């Protein structure tokens, strides 16, 4: 049985002071969650979130990582730096990074390999654009992105990666893939992993859905057999909404 994992992606939102609110608002509300709970926050909030979540079941995540251990990469953060701040998970290949910051399948792969080698758990994002879905290329796109991103990892390492299937047209738009669409495409990703790394890995790897997941649609999505959790943007910013998503089965 795969343990579901629900991760908030705060994107470029919240100051350390706002993040500290977590202790009062989120920590008690999600303490009995049956899924893993992660918040992927801006780097300036690592300290505040770490302190606020101390002793709780909330794990700390980052939103990107550089692949070099150190060096002349102004503005970047290494795996070692994230780990020193208590980060355990890192979002890699989010569509906003692909769209606005020149992220490619190649750099996604470099980041995934560095994260895994250094002991961080990647939350690897894959997903198709609207016209790719409309043209019937969804399966080919998600298979290709997944294969490229995981290239060079062993089967054992892949087991520990979390994949987020995020149709780009559903991110921040209020449009959600239907339960069936999300389930079907995640099934395609799982089958591809099975072909590449074997049935046991495909069976064990956790694949989330992301794209306007919220308290209103989480139950239906989480009832799908292939969906092992969610990557939550907008609805992770308000503690009551994120709590309702995390407690989808309560």
Task: Please identify which of the residues 96, 128, 166, 226 carries the catalytic annotation.
Answer: 166
Residue of the chain from 234, 242, 245, 246 that contacts ligand PEP (CB under 6 A): 234
- Reduced to 3 states, what is the DSSP secondary structure of residue 101? coil
Q: Does 166 bind ligand PEP (CB under 6 A)?
A: yes
Joined together, the tokens standing for residue 9 give: 């992606």
Burial class (CB in 10 A: 0-12, 13-18, 19+), 234: buried
Contact region for ligand PEP (CB under 6 A) — 113-121, 166-174, 195-203, 217-225? 166-174
Catalytic residue among 94, 96, 128, 143: 94
Q: Which is nearest to 63 in space by CA: 37, 23, 92, 22?
A: 92
SS3 90: strand
Which element (helix H / strand E) includes 113?
A: helix 105-118
- Indicate the residue among 87 and 201 with the shorter CB distance to ligand PEP: 87
- Pick the closer one to ligand PEP by CB: 165 or 197: 165
d(CA 193, CA 147): 8
Taking each helix axis as running N to C, give the angle between helix 138-150 and helix 105-118, from 0 to 180 degrees, rounded to the nearest 10: 40
**Binding residue for ligand PEP (CB under 6 A) from 4, 61, 127, 233?**
233
Is the Cβ of residue 69 or residue 172 nearer to ligand PEP in the bound state? 172
Q: Is 94 a catalytic residue?
A: yes
Token pair in block for residue 100: 């606005």
Quickly count: other Cβ atoms within 10 Å of residue 51's Cβ: 14
Residue number with the smallest Cβ distance to ligand PEP: 233
Residue span 23-52 as binding mask against ligand PEP, x where in contact by CB under 6 A, dash where not: ------------------------------
Query: Does residue 167 interact with ligand PEP by CB under 6 A?
Result: no
Calpha distance 118→6 (Å, rounded)? 22
Q: Does 9 bind ligand PEP (CB under 6 A)?
A: yes
- The smaller minimum CB distance to ligand PEP, of residues 177 and 201, is found at 177
H or E segment and range at residue 191 = helix 179-197
Taking the complex as a whole, how short is the minimal distance between the CB of residue 70 and ligand PEP, in angstroms?
29
How would you write 43-82 as a 3-class SS string?
HHHHHHHHHHHCCCCEEEEECCCCCCCCCCCCCCCCHHHH
Smaller CB separation from ligand PEP, 28 or 216? 216
Is residue 171 at the binding interface for ligand PEP, with CB under 6 A as the rule?
yes
Is 212 near ligand PEP (CB under 6 A)?
A: yes
Site for ligand PEP in 95-124 (CB under 6 A): none
Which residues are catalytically annotated? 94, 166
Positions that interact with ligand PEP (CB under 6 A) = 9, 166, 171-172, 210-213, 231-235
């Amino acid at each position: 049985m795969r343990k579901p994992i629900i991760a908030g992606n705060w994107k470029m939102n919240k100051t350390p002071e706002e993040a500290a609110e977590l202790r009062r608002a989120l920590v008690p509300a999600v303490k009995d969650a049956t899924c893993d709970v992660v918040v992927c926050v801006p780097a300036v909030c690592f300290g505040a979130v770490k302190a606020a979540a101390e002793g709780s079941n909330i794990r700390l995540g980052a939103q990107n990582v550089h692949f070099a251990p150190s060096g002349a990469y102004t503005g970047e953060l290494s795996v070692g730096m994230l780990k020193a701040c208590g980060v355990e998970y890192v979002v890699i290949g989010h569509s906003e990074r692909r769209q606005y910051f020149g992220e490619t399948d190649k750099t996604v792969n470099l980041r995934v390999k560095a994260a895994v080698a250094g002991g961080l758990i990647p939350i690897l994002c894959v997903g198709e654009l609207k016209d790719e879905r409309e043209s019937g290329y969804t399966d080919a796109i998600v298979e290709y992105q997944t294969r490229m991103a995981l290239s060079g990892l062993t089967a054992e390492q892949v087991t520990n990666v979390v994949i987020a299937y995020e149709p780009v047209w559903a991110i921040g738009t209020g449009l959600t893939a239907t339960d069936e669409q999300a389930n079907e495409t995640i099934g395609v990703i799982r089958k591809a992993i099975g072909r590449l790394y074997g049935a046991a890995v495909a069976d064990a790897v956790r694949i989330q859905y992301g794209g306007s997941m919220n308290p209103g649609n989480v139950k239906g999505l989480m009832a799908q057999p292939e969906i092992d959790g969610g990557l939550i943007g907008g609805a992770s910013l308000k503690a009551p909404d994120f709590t309702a998503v995390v407690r989808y089965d309560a």
